[in-house]
Amino acid sequence: MLMESNGSSNRRRTLQRLRCSVKNYDWGRIGCESRVSRLFSRNSGLHIEEGKPYAEFWMGTHESGPSFVLENGGLSLNSWIAKNPNVLGDKVVQKWGVNLPFLFKVLSVAKVLSIQAHPDKELAGILHKARPDVFKDGNHKPEMALALTEFEALCGFISLEEFMDVLQNVPEIAEVVGSECVNQVLHINNKDGAEKVKAVLRSIFTHLMSASKDVISGAVSKLNSRLNMESEVRQLTEKEQLVLLLEKQYPADVGVLATFLFNYVKLNPGEALYLGANELHAYIHGECIECMATSDNVVRAGLTPKDRDVQILCSMLTYHQGFPEILQGVPLNPYTKRYLPPFEEFEVDRCILPKGASAAFPAVPGPSVFMVMEGEGTMHSSTSFEDLVREGDVLFAPANTDVKVTTTSHLHLYRAGVNSRFF
């Protein structure tokens, strides 16, 4: 909806409203329980289908889930940018061509996503050329998840000390990988270099993920029986409780065993986790904002009904060990925090405004995408009409556009843009 105020006869439509896409993957929250479903329904005008999973709300130019510019006859955002490359800014065009370098999403996770990693640019190019039906593009996919609710994930490998502890206290894993692999880990000492540790970790993980279905099924069954018996005489650890939950979601899956090898991360609302290329992870539960380089490449190896590429995954991982960095956001003003991952393609701002408050987003040399999560207010730039905005509205702001937001009620919105450190 537009509001034209006095003296605005020379103003034009600078902020472009977008109609965005939804993904109904089976791990998504069902019907109205999903924030994704509510955002998509508000954004598109379509009814929510109860009983249907709503997993991801996509805002961007990727061909697997494109957005469309409402004021330009339903032209795709990608096509509109191609006709108006100046909206990206000169430096963005020089670096990435006439392409929006980031993809913005909201995720509603009811059950665990696959154990996965995203290839770096070199591997992505190779995979896309060899199997374009599976690997949809040749780009890398660093990403960041910013929690909307309490959000749980598996991310990266546990420390060497924890790894030794697992091999000594989870006999089902030791049995699958064999005594030789176990002894390799237990005999590592402080004098051994990082490359040797990485090689041993790679060897054990590859043995585990490559084991036969029958071997894994037997091991998971033993693990499940043991933990259920032990739960009657002791309090299970958080990781053990998680393993039992995942076993219910994916019985006899190798990912149930592999979970012991990964960091179990719990984010509070407003905390963020970032993941580089070739870093192993799996989202477990909760809702989040997600931003990434414009790509849809995923290599999977467990906790999924989809095709798995075990050897590719095991060979591509960094095998970095230790707990990941959690971003708390850097305050820009009393209402806005910025989350800056170490990737050029994107950053995310989180803005929570009480009734009657205003926040300014100064002009930047690259494009931005704004998404209203909750509430109502107005949004405009110095050269644009004033827009009434509410939950589900998504707007594209061209490079060098200042944006001001004012609330008529509590307003909760997010902005994705090219990383400020790039400029």
How high is the pLDDT of residue 5? Answer: 41
Radius of gyration of the chain (CA): 23
The span from the CA of 250 to the CA of 306, in Å, is: 12
Q: In CATH terms, is domain 20-155+265-308+321-327 a member of 3.40.30.10?
A: no
> Which residues participate in catalysis according to the annotation?
300
User: What's the whole-model pTM score?
Assistant: 0.93
Q: What is the pLDDT of residue 12?
A: 67
The one-letter code for the residue type at 166 is V
For the chain, the domains span 20-155+265-308+321-327
Provide block-wise average pLDDT over 10 residues at a time, the chain (423 residues). Answer: 42 85 96 98 96 97 93 87 96 95 97 91 86 81 95 94 92 92 80 82 93 96 96 96 96 96 97 94 97 88 88 92 95 96 96 95 97 95 86 96 93 97 95
Burial 385-407 (b: 16+ CB within 10 A, else e): bbbebebbbbbbbbbebbbbbbb
- Are the beta carbons of 92 and 112 closer than 8 angstroms? no
What is the model's pLDDT at position 348? Answer: 98
* pLDDT at res. 4: 41
